[in-house]
Amino acid sequence: MNPFDAIKNLQNMTETLQNMESKVKEITASGTAGASAVTIVLNGKFEMQDIKIDKEMFEDVEDLEALPMLIKLAHNNAVENVSEKLKSQTSSLASDIGLSFNQ
């Protein structure tokens, strides 16, 4: 391989990786649990951006006992959804630079 081609390929890979990093910051996905009683939104870095709790679903004090479990379930669902979006974005960008990941 020509050294100049290698340098050009490296520059293209660097640009693609920077593009990938910026797209990760833009990705968001939500997860829900308990018939949407709890909704959690995560970004591409798996940082929680928002949490919504439907107060009407927890009017009875006894129902509050389920809240921690529903938060965990909604978070896990959001993690799955972010992972799928990241996988899709990464595969697309990787193919742009000639890389492939076995799925």
| CATH number reported for the structural domain that contains residue 36 in this entry | 3.30.1310.10
Q: What is the pLDDT of residue 12?
A: 79
Domain annotation covers residue 78 = yes
* Inter-residue long-range contacts of 15-21, CB under 8 Å, 24+ positions, other chains counted: 16/93, 16/94, 16/96, 16/97, 19/93, 20/89, 20/90, 20/93
Domain annotation covers residue 103 = no
Domain annotation covers residue 101 = no
Domain membership of residue 81 as a residue range: 3-96
43-94 residue pLDDT tens = 999 999 999 999 999 888 888 999 999 999 999 999 999 999 999 887 776 6
Structure tokens at 46: 């798996």
CA 63 to CA 67: how far, in whole Å? Answer: 7
Cα atoms found within 13 Å of the Cα of residue 38, Cβ hemisphere only: 19
Domain count, the chain: 1
Domain annotation covers residue 102 = no
Q: Which position has the higher pLDDT, 70 or 24?
A: 70
Q: Report yes or no: 49 and 58 within 8 Å, Cβ to Cβ.
A: no
